[in-house]
Amino acid sequence: MNTLPPLDEQAANDCAALCLYIQEKIKQNNGFLPFVDYMNWALYAPKYGYYSGRAEKIGQYGDFATAPQLTDLFGKCLARQLLQILPQTAGNIYEFGAGTGKLAVDILKWLPENAWQKYYIIELSADLQQRQRDYIQNKIPQYAHKIEHLCRLPEQFDGVILGNEVLDAMPCEVVEMREDGIYRMGVANTPQGFDWQGELATGFLLEQAIFRLPESVFPYRTEINLQAEAFVRTLAERLNCGGMLWIDYGFDAAEYYHPQRTMGTLIGHYRHHTVDNPFVFTGQMDLTAHIDFSAIADAATSQGLDFIGYTTQAAFLMACGITDFLCELGDTAGEEYIKTAAAVQKLLLPHEMGELFKCIAFGKNIDPDWIGFGGLDLSGKL
């Protein structure tokens, strides 16, 4: 905590305003706010939530970097995958949580114009929506008329739904198994600020915790992302023809709820530092938890989608030709090649983003053999 760069004056005022607001919510809720609600306010409260505020979030001057920021070859690989699927659909792309807009631009730079109809962006953050519009207008003005921000979910999707690091940004429940029972974790007001507090879990959350958590490991704290799972179910229900592709960090259920992972995966990101305490810099720090891909697969297939594939980010990108694209840059001593090669390594290396990040896809009324899943098949782990 001592090593974190301090908040500037504006950020400190915004943080204080959001803390007051959440303190009130805790009081109204008899002194206990479920963590999922705290995370929702911390990330998405109007004006003061992390994604609602105007501060730079993604990239070198933000709090964390995502794959599209590293190299446009990430988008080129996705474009290659899309090129295979889109002709089997009405040709629409639906990107959720488009961040700075860079992935959209990179995909559309490589995708032949006649391969797609419309590029829809569904983004919760008004600030990011504006950044996306500006970036698109600046980089690919010729396509701006074919790119539309939607403020509500379409009734039906016909095309490809995709999202990079979106599911992990959805508020999750935190549960803790103790010798005397399973607790739903939440937040209480204390003289020192927010702190953890537990209440015995009940209902659906309790059922899910009993189903997922290992036996007899005390204390055992972890996350359950019911919201991300419900979100995938809703999209799956509405996918008429096409595919759904999610890229994110996470594991299958056995690895996620491994007896040795006793502290879960919840983490904060602030100016490229990771922070264990989620009550630090409320609204100024990103909060995220890894994805349980087994639960995501259940959510999508329970609504009738075909399972397409589950693999590591490295295997997916290599199957889509990332190393060929790198070679096409030519002069291996040139500045562009060296910079791109370093970024590609970061995307592929097992101890960087290559193995922790996974790709999972589902389809409806389309060919299930996607090029991206032609390499390593991890579906047996789900």
Ligand X SMILES: C[S@@+](CC[C@H](N)C(=O)[O-])C[C@H]1O[C@@H](n2cnc3c(N)ncnc32)[C@H](O)[C@@H]1O
Binding positions for ligand X, rule: CB under 6 A: 51, 58, 66, 68, 96-99, 103, 122-125, 128, 164-166, 169-170, 231
Q: Classify residue 310 as exposed, middle or buried by CB count within 10 Å of its CB (0-12, 13-18, 19+).
A: buried
- The CB-of-28 to ligand X minimum distance in angstroms stands at 25
Buried b (16+ CB within 10 A) or exposed e, 247-275: bbbbbbbeebbeeebeebbbbbbbeeeeb
Nearer to ligand X, 82 or 128 (CB): 128
* Cβ proximity to ligand X, 127 vs 298, nearer residue: 127
Shortest distance, position 322 Cβ to ligand X, whole Å: 16
* Closest to ligand X by CB, 26 or 239: 239
Minimal distance, residue 210 CB to ligand X, in Å: 27
CB of 98 to ligand X, least distance (A): 6
Neighbouring C-beta atoms of residue 51, cutoff 10 Å: 19
Peptide bond before residue 5 is cis, with ω within 30 degrees of 0: no
Q: Which is nearer to ligand X, 44 or 251 (CB)?
A: 44
Residue 65 CB, nearest approach to ligand X (Å): 8
Rounded (5°) CA angle 268-269-274:
80
Smaller CB separation from ligand X, 51 or 157: 51
**Cα separation of 356 and 187, whole Å?**
29
CA distance 44 to 46: 6
Nearest distance from C-beta of residue 161 to ligand X, angstroms: 11
- Under a CB-based contact definition with an 8 Å cutoff, are residues 366 and 241 in contact? yes
Please give the residue whose beta carbon sits closest to ligand X in the complex. 97
Half-sphere CA count of 110, side-chain side, radius 13 A: 18
Nearer to ligand X, 51 or 143 (CB): 51
CA distance 52 to 45: 7
